[in-house]
Amino acid sequence: MDVISLGEALVDFLPNRRGQRVREVTHWTPCLGGAPANVAVGLSRLGAKSGLVGVTGHDEFGHFLKQGLEREGVDVRHLRQTEEGKTGLGFVSLTQKGERSFTFYRTRAAETFLDARDTTAAAKLLRSSKVVHVGTNSLIHAPARAAVSEAVKQAYEAGQITSTDPNLRLHLWKDPAVLRKLLGVLFKRCAVVKLSEEEIEFVTGTTDVNDALNWLEKKGVVVAIVTRGPKGASLRFRGETRVVPAKRVKVIDTTGAGDGFTAGFLYGLTRLYSTRAALEGADLDALEGHARFGCLVGSHVVTKLGAVAGLPRRGQV
What CATH code is carried by the domain that includes residue 250? 3.40.1190.20
For residue range 221-265, list pLDDT tens digits in order: 999 999 999 999 999 999 999 999 999 999 888 889 999 999 999
Q: What is the percentage of the chain residues whose pLDDT exceeds 90?
A: 82
284 found inside a domain: yes
Cα radius of gyration (the chain): 18
Give the chain's domain count.
1
The answer to the question of residue 54 being in a domain is yes
> How many Cβ atoms from other residues are within 10 Å of residue 246's Cβ?
21
The pLDDT of residue 92 is 85
Domain range for 217: 3-7+36-81+114-316
In a domain, 216, yes or no: yes
Residue 56 within a domain: yes
Please report whether residue 305 resides in a domain.
yes
Give the length of the chain: 317
CA distance 30 to 114: 23
Residue 240, SS3 per DSSP: strand
Per-residue pLDDT for 100 more than 70? no
Q: What does the pLDDT average to over 272-300?
A: 96
In a domain, 146, yes or no: yes
> Please, what sign has the CA dihedral across residues 118, 122, 127, 128?
negative
Alpha-carbon span 116 to 177, nearest angstrom = 23
Give the model's pLDDT for residue 266.
Answer: 98
Predicted local confidence at residue 98, as pLDDT:
61
CB atoms within 10 A of CB 136: 25
Q: Could you tell me if residue 184 is inside a domain?
A: yes
Q: What is the mean pLDDT of the chain?
A: 94
Give the tens place of pLDDT for each residue, 15-26: 888 788 888 888
Residue 260 lies in a domain: yes
